[in-house]
A and B are shown apart, each in its own frame.
Chain A
Amino acid sequence: MSYKDIKFSKEELARYDRHIIIPEFGYEAQQKLKAAKVLVVGSGGLGSPGLLYLAAAGVGTIGIVDFDVVDDSNLQRQVLFGVDEIGKPKVEAAHRRLSALNPHVNFVLYNEQLTSQNALDILKDYDVVADGTDNFPTRYLVNDASVLLGIPNVYASIFQFEGQVSVFNYKNEAGELGPNYRDLYPSPPPPGLVPSCAEGGVLGVLPGIIGSLQALEVIKIITGVGDTLSGRFFTFDALTFQTRTFNIKRNPANPINGINPTIKSLIDYEEFCGLKKPQEKPVKEITAKEFYDWQVKGEKFQLIDVREPHEYEIVNIGAELIPLASVLDQADKIDRDRKVVIHCKMGGRSAKAIRELEAKFGFDNLYNLKGGILSYIDEVKPELTKY
């Protein structure tokens, strides 16, 4: 349905009168707002004012993503919530407040964390996303998902007395695409180098100011009124009251949409931001093809399967079955005087078994079948049953 077909009730016309009478805005911009779908990621310090203004302004559909519950330390800045809502899911508390503010808005609630698994599915239904999250992994996730889907991303971020706002991945009327977060910050700071709000604090009114600017940019994108912050990066220092607007451009080396993009789907953002625990000790590996060569050449080795008996029944390659849980108890069945290949379904459990056996009994002759029995079936014996 075109926005031109959008109709308003008498109550809505009265409600939006102060918009409609602005010559540069008018009835048409209000129709565009009602036709629009905006996803707000994070309903905290930035999301609170943003959501209030977007709902008040008459955005037709507003999605809210937040997995958090209201905490008393939120109330200093998260103006959507009150004392009665402490302990309740933020999306529910936000919905209550916002639908009381504007019953003409359709709300879609996502009481869950945005992840690499669900982000594309959630974002794809929206025209604009507003990123008001509080951590680097989610920032990169929202950025990458919006770039992959071609959705403009209104970015806002705060720390102590300082705020940043920009519009990323925005295609202007001439079809020119603006920069995104990765043009500006190709990779995040290592954990601990930049202090967080949780340790550094934030002045409560700052997200009120910055989140309102974010809502403003969302409205400008939807209505086409004014010039958005695409290609510009706004900063505000509440202490000195200094505002600056920098020019930013696309970077040909951008890994997601530069000249030679290397990121073609969503990645593991915790790992990307260095928040994963150090990698576990690598184990010796053998590929399915190398393993097959051993078999063909008659190389001497023992083959052990650490899957469960019911999996073994579905398909097996003639290994001795020692399920992972009992592998340490049955270590005496594992040879020390020849190579031992250990496999499972995909290679995870067998690597774990090898680490445990090496750590506890000092084995040095264990090889993990890379990719497990599934790789073996794919590369060597496609006639076997996959499960």
Chain B
Amino acid sequence: MATVIIPTPLRKFTGNTSRLQIHATNVKETVAELTLNFPDLKKHLLDEQGNIRNFINIFVGNDDIRDLQKENTVVKDDSVVSIIPAIAGGNA
């Protein structure tokens, strides 16, 4: 199972869990599985059309999925998927 790292601002939607194990073969499935388990995450990760939001970056290993195969980027059992949202500090 792939490991998904949940960033601090989104942990309140995952019951304060920072790492999750997800069964998935690509990023799209990973996000679908995540939002199925934690429905409140959905609006933070996906826009109304179901695309990953502009202010969310997803990395598989150390690489931005935009530079790989985007949502079709393969996720393996030993993959680490990181979700990195834009954060601005004090008065976001």
Residue numbers of A with Cβ under 8 A of B are 44-46, 132-136, 139, 157-162, 164, 184-189, 193-198, 200, 202, 233, 235, 237, 239-240, 242, 244-249, 251
Contact = CB atoms under 8 A, between A and B. Distances in A.
B82 A247 contact: no
Contacts of A164: 84, 87
Nearest to B91: A135
Interface in B17-50: 18, 43-44
B55 to A, nearest CB: 4
Given A189-B86, A194-B86, A246-B64, A200 B91 contact: no
Interface in B42-88: 43-44, 53-55, 57, 59, 62-64, 66-67, 82, 84-88
B89 interface: yes
B84 A193 contact: no
A147 to B, nearest CB: 17
A340 B47 CA distance: 44
Nearest to A136: B88
Contacts of A196: 88-92
Contacts of B91: 134-135, 196-198
Interface of B: 5, 7-9, 18, 43-44, 53-55, 57, 59, 62-64, 66-67, 82, 84-92
16 contacts: A44-B90, A134-B89, A136-B88, A139-B88, A158-B89, A159-B87, A160-B8, A161-B8, A186-B54, A187-B54, A189-B85, A194-B44, A194-B92, A237-B8, A247-B64, A249-B67
Contacts of A245: 62
B90 A244 contact: no
A239 B44 CA distance: 22
A126 B68 CA distance: 36
A246 B59 CA distance: 7
Contact of A159 (B5, B44, B82, B89): B89
Contacts of A44: 90
A240 B63 contact: no
Contacts of B86: 136, 184-185, 188-189, 194
A132 B89 CA distance: 9
Nearest to B57: A184
B90 A162 contact: no
Contacts of B63: 246-247
A195 B90 contact: no
A319 B30 CA distance: 66
Q: Which 5 A-B pairs have the closest CB atoms?
A: A134-B90, A134-B89, A196-B92, A159-B87, A162-B8
Contacts of B67: 247, 249
Contacts of B82: 235, 244, 246
Given A246-B64, A247-B62, A135 B90 contact: yes
A306 B8 CA distance: 54
B9 A233 contact: no
A310 B83 CA distance: 60
A134 B85 CA distance: 15
Contacts of A161: 8
A239 B84 contact: no
A188 B55 contact: yes
Given A162-B87, A239-B8, 19 more contacts: A132-B89, A159-B87, A159-B89, A188-B88, A189-B55, A189-B85, A198-B90, A198-B91, A235-B82, A240-B18, A244-B5, A244-B59, A245-B62, A246-B64, A246-B84, A247-B63, A247-B67, A249-B66, A251-B66
Given A136-B88, A159-B89, A244 B18 contact: no
Contacts of B62: 244-247
Contact of B18 (A158, A159, A189, A237): A237
